[in-house]
């Protein structure tokens, strides 16, 4: 029997075949029966519509026999369907020919926890072709932002001079509404993979996930070059690497802000910057025409607009530096003035904590390490014991202890199991979950599902973080659930004291950096396109020529030519489609899989199972129908009756006079007819899956 195997967003196959052998992309014996898989635009909104997909179980030839049962399975998209942006339905769409294409979801199990043996056959989505972009000419400096210039996150930029390439950062971006079910997104590595023999180094500015989240997977794909960063960042990356035991160990080297390294022919220096992550650093790459400078994420250490002497000293290197190109953060370019100094937040938190007589629960970004260490210091000064609850929070603080920058007194941090042994005014709990994450520590406590901790009336909850765009509803639900416990909630919007500040510079911080570095050319990075455009406008407002500024897209190839006198944007682009990490699957060719998940989430699926007599071409019995997320079958018997009549008529029309039966045509016609009928009756577009059994 020829069967069907398709992994779905539910993590199970549509038919009973969960064998790992069935995950293989295409059965060699059936490959010649399928027409080639079409190319897709990597923009989900512009993906090709109205396609048929055929799936067959691995290791079974595509044959028909009167002595065997045969299953033919097709997924049929409704006419002109676009699961993201489409309101039009063409019911007279041209019928597809019987050629079909095949794909595999490559949906493996989730990444193993640290210490778990990795699968030997890690599933990845293969790249179709190389980027075929010529190397830069002698004397030309090439800059390619591969991520982080059309979004917040997955920052990565390649600098190419002669025969040498260095890569700055390799971050991740969390999944969005457009990418359901995936784990996260990393920058596209195709260009670097094609040139991995010339990648000399990976330089990491600091240890936040939008700069290091992609390191394990990116490094393994680009040849695992030497990696350079400061100590705390290196330790965090090694900790993250433990979750990928099947990948090579990092070739990591610790540098400090006064270090000098060579990557091929490039001479590279570093400098310290202020950020919510200790040990953050900027990078200076020397070229024959001047230096390329990027500070990574930064803000100024200043009070009321006056930069501290320590900060002035750190940036004094640029007083005499000839800066050819500046690449810098645009995250807060829309915020006027200077960003709030972190020291103000420390003072505000101390005042709030001192005013509370009962238990205190503080939730902040686990990546705001400087603030978290200060909270522990404040608790110690007030004689409070500290409980850390949340995996990422514990991990970060443990790594800080290992790096010798966090030194709590013995007995300050206690296990959550010991909380009952201390009076409420001697307890401070630090929890993850300020963004309303359902399974984070604070969310579980609010929902009464935390196994070791219960919120009590009179507790004070301090939310020391801003709300990430898109999380507003989740945070509101969190606050509602917390309020039902009779607690007092203090947020950055309601507190009279400063309890949160951004880690990125506002407009005045950014202008100060531009004036200090006085670059000849400028490329804004780290932000949405509108932010980059605004950054260009700000740079021009302080005297920079618009001709010397290029606002890039992901994959833009920018070159400094004519001995450093001109900056141009090449017409070619490096591959920049999102590399989606989906279990063990990593690739930029998963548009079809993601689109199906969106369709399933929006309109569900409708499976038709029809048994055909191979001798007569008639139905052997009434078709079986399975609906998931579309309609409730028991309440729509009349609709199902009409569907069965359409199935019967379609099969009889398509088998009349045909020997042997053309199952491709039958499946295509069934998909067309049922899709149109269901849309006419319900105004919904479920994923229609005809399954034919020939007996």
Q: What is the per-residue pLDDT across 85-140, written as a single tens digit (0 to 9) for each?
A: 333 333 333 333 333 222 233 333 344 444 444 444 444 555 555 667 999 999 99
Q: Long-range contacts: 288-291, Cβ < 8 Å, 24+?
A: 288/139, 288/563, 288/564, 289/141, 289/324, 289/560, 289/563, 289/564, 290/322, 290/323, 290/324, 290/325, 290/520, 290/564, 291/321, 291/322, 291/323, 291/324, 291/325
pLDDT for the residue 110: 40
pLDDT for the residue 588: 67
Q: How far apart (Å, rounded) are the C-alpha atoms in residues 284 and 278?
A: 19
pLDDT digits (tens, 9 = 90+) for 489-548: 999 888 989 999 999 999 999 999 999 999 999 999 999 999 999 999 999 999 999 999
For residues 519 and 511, is the Cβ–Cβ distance under 8 A? no
Q: Decide: helix, strand or coil at residue 237.
A: helix
pLDDT digits (tens, 9 = 90+) for 219-263: 999 999 999 999 999 999 999 999 898 899 999 999 998 899 999
pLDDT for the residue 172: 94
Which domains, ranges and CATH numbers included, belong to the chain? 20-105+590-598+610-671+685-690 (no CATH), 141-337+503-577 (3.60.15.10), 342-491 (3.40.50.10710)
Residue that the structure tokens 């048929």 belong to: 52
Q: How far apart (Å, rounded) are the C-alpha atoms in residues 144 and 160?
A: 8
pLDDT digits (tens, 9 = 90+) for 450-501: 999 999 999 999 999 998 877 899 999 999 999 999 999 999 888 989 999 9
pLDDT for the residue 468: 84
pLDDT digits (tens, 9 = 90+) for 628-679: 888 888 888 899 999 999 999 998 888 887 777 888 888 999 999 999 999 9
> Can you give the pTM of this predicted structure?
0.75
Reply yes or no on whether the pLDDT at 599 is more than 70.
Answer: yes
pLDDT > 70 in the chain, percent:
80
Closest CA to 545 of 520, 570, 568: 520
Which structure tokens are listed for 503?
A: 């880690």
Higher pLDDT among residues 328 and 17, named by residue: 328
Q: For the residues 401-424, what does the mean pLDDT come to?
A: 94
Element (H, E) at 582: strand 579-582
Closest CA to 144 of 576, 667, 649, 577: 576
Reply yes or no on whether the pLDDT at 67 is more than 90.
Answer: no
pLDDT for the residue 60: 36
Q: For the residues 181-208, what does the mean pLDDT come to?
A: 93
Q: For the residues 329-355, what does the mean pLDDT come to?
A: 95
Q: Active-site residue numbers?
A: 329, 504
For residues 324 and 521, is the Cβ–Cβ distance under 8 A? yes
Reply yes or no on whether the pLDDT at 595 is more than 50.
Answer: yes
């Amino acid at each position: 029997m020829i069967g069907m195997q398709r992994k779905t967003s539910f993590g199970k196959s549509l038919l009973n075949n969960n064998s790992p052998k069935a995950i293989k992309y295409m059965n060699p014996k059936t490959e010649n029966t399928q027409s080639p898989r079409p190319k897709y635009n990597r923009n989900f909104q512009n993906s090709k519509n109205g396609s048929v997909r055929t799936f067959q179980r691995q290791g079974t030839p595509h044959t028909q026999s009167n002595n065997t049962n045969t299953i033919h399975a097709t997924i049929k998209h409704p006419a002109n369907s676009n699961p993201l942006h489409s309101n039009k339905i063409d019911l007279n769409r041209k019928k597809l020919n019987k050629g079909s294409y095949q794909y595999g979801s490559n949906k493996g199990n989730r990444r193993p926890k640290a210490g778990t043996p990795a699968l030997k056959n890690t599933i990845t989505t293969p790249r179709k072709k190389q980027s075929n972009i010529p190397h830069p000419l002698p004397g030309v400096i090439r800059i390619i932002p591969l991520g982080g210039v059309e979004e917040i996150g997955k920052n990565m930029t390649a600098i190419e001079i002669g025969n040498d390439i260095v890569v700055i950062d390799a971050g991740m971006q969390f999944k969005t509404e457009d990418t359901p079910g995936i784990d996260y997104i990393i920058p596209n590595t195709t260009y670097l993979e094609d040139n991995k023999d010339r990648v000399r180094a990976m330089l990491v500015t600091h240890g936040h996930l939008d700069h290091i989240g992609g390191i394990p997977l990116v490094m393994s794909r680009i040849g695992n070059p030497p990696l350079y960063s400061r100590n705390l960042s290196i330790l965090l990356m090694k900790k993250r690497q433990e979750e990928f035991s099947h990948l090579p160990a990092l070739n990591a080297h610790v540098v400090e802000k006064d270090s000098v390294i060579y990557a091929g022919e490039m001479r590279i220096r570093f400098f310290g910057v202020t950020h919510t992550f200790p040990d953050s650093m900027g990078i200076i790459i020397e070229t024959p025409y001047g230096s390329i400078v990027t500070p990574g994420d930064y803000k100024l250490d200043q009070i009321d607009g006056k930069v501290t002497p320590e900060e002035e000293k750190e940036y004094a290197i640029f007083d005499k530096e000839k800066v050819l190109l500046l690449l810098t953060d645009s995250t807060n370019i829309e915020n006027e003035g200077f960003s709030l100094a972190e020291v103000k937040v420390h003072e505000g938190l101390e005042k709030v904590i001192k005013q509370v007589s009962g238990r205190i629960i503080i939730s902040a970004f686990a990546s705001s390490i400087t603030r978290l260490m200060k909270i522990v210091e404040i608790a110690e000064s007030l004689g409070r014991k500290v409980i850390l609850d949340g995996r990422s929070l514990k991990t970060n603080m443990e790594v800080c202890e290992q790096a010798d920058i966090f030194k709590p007194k013995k007995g300050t941090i206690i296990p959550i199991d010991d909380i009952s042994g201390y009076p409420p005014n001697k307890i401070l709990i630090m929890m993850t979950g300020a963004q309303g994450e359902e399974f984070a520590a604070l969310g579980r406590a609010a929902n009464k599902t935390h196994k070791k901790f219960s919120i009590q009336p009179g507790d004070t909850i301090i939310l020391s973080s801003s709300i990430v765009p898109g999380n507003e509803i989740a945070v509101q639900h969190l606050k509602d659930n917390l309020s039902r416990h009779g607690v007092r909630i203090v947020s950055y919007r309601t507190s009279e004291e400063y309890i949160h500040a951004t880690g990125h510079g506002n407009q005045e911080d950014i202008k100060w950096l531009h004036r200090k570095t006085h670059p000849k050319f400028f490329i804004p990075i780290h932000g949405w396109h509108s932010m980059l455009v605004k950054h260009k406008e700000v740079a021009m407002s302080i005297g920079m020529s618009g001709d010397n500024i290029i606002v890039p897209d992901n994959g833009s190839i920018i070159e400094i030519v004519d001995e450093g006198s001109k900056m141009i944007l090449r017409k070619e682009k490096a591959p920049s489609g999102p590399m989606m990490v989906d279990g063990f699957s990593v690739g930029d060719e998963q548009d079809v899989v993601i689109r199906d998940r969106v369709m399933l989430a929006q309109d569900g699926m409708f499976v038709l199972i029809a048994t055909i007599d191979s001798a007569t071409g008639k139905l052997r019995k009434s078709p079986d129908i399975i609906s998931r997320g579309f309609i409730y079958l028991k309440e729509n018997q009349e609709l199902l009756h009409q569907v069965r009549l359409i199935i019967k008529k379609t099969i009889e029309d398509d088998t009349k006079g045909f020997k042997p039966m053309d199952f491709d045509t039958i499946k295509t016609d069934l998909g067309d007819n049922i899709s149109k009928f269901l849309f006419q009756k319900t105004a919904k577009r479920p994923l229609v899956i005809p399954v034919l059994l020939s007996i």
